[in-house]
Structure 1
Amino acid sequence: MHDPKMMEKLFSDFSINVTEMFRDPHFFLTFRRSIVPHLRKAPFIRIWHAGCSTGQEVFSMAILLHEEGLLHKSRLYGTDMNEHVLKKAKMGSFPIEKMQLYTKNYMQAGGTRAFSEYYTVKNGVVQFEPFLKDNMVFAQHNLVTDGSFNEFQVIICRNVMIYFNEPLQNHVHGLIYESLCTDGYLGLGNKEGVVFTTHASCYEEVDGTETFYRKVK
């Protein structure tokens, strides 16, 4: 299990690509209300979506940042170990039958416009507006075998850790810690946390949410 190619294939085979726009709307509502005010002070914002799957979360963040007037000074990095889902993410197109759910999520996440303003429909396929992709970068990256590649103000890694055992979780948390700037924000899934990790003392909860943490040391 020390062969990187074998590790990559193993985790790719077992990866579960379940995602949707504005999934868990309260997560994005909390980001809008509690994190965005702090990001306004930053001259430039780098956000890493680790394990981005087909990209819905990245597009959700782009819409949120656009509405908050921050997209122009942001760069969103979406990474996944699965090259197949990354190809879908780069296209920015999704099946129209998902739009009713996505619209509901968007409104519950504090959306300020008509969700339909952000996409066009052709032949039953939704294509998001090109300006949303201008500040996006999608690339292959394996959290287990690859290292840090930049410093970020925000790292979102939701519903990924739950598939790793404790040693791998600590390894990934080490990578995230190394990649997150001081006073940067980490967003996790609602069944995940930092309490029992080797980096627990390096973070504090944001508004007691147990999904957002600020790196304090």
Structure 2
Amino acid sequence: MTSALDHLSALAVEQEAFAALATTADADLPVPACAPWTVADLVRHLTGIHRWAAAAARLPPDAAIPDEDDDEAGPPDYAAAAADVRAALADAARPCPTLAGPGTAAWWARRQLHETFVHRLDLAAAVGVPLEADAAVAADCVAEVVDTMQPRQVRLGRMPAPAVGVRLTTPTATWVLGAAPVAEVAGPDLAVAQLLWRRTPLDDPRLTVTGDRAAAGGLLADRLTP
């Protein structure tokens, strides 16, 4: 995790950017990265995810997290849900259950940041505005896949434990995804984050691949994230 990053403050920035895009976009506009969703579907999804995370963060640490349910009845009130989840996560040290077992609200602040970050990029791409990202947020998005999301996918049986690994290198940091690396993928923090979330292909011109490209491609094509 990028320890210097204030996840809650960064979450507020990403939520504001997402809301600004959603307010001006046609509700029926397709969002290709989340096909077959439209802008309205994506807003409804993120509204529900914020409400779900806020509810989970308010539970005692040994409680079971309810099933994720982002199908909210009626028109979504994204601004209210965004404010509510930030309020629920204001005390970073508050014990609560997480998707990785008992933890604190800080875990959810990080998860909600990157959920919002990825979907803000999805929405920006759909409406045709340049994709921009704070390098620290993009780097922590990469780190979250490596240290939390991909191991969880293995734990849940959604992908096998990797037999090989890939070194991921950006101007900010270097990580190893999987086992002993047989290849390296280098590029901007944003491009590597998009790659891990299946928002850009391995042949993206911003990325450079060295070593066993086929093995790297096989690992990166697996279900690293939900």
Q: Which has the higher contact order (CA 8 A, sep 6+)?
A: 1
| TM-score, structure 1 as length reference | 0.30
| TM-score, structure 2 as length reference | 0.29
Q: Name the structure with the higher helix share.
A: 2
Q: Name the structure with the higher strand share.
A: 1
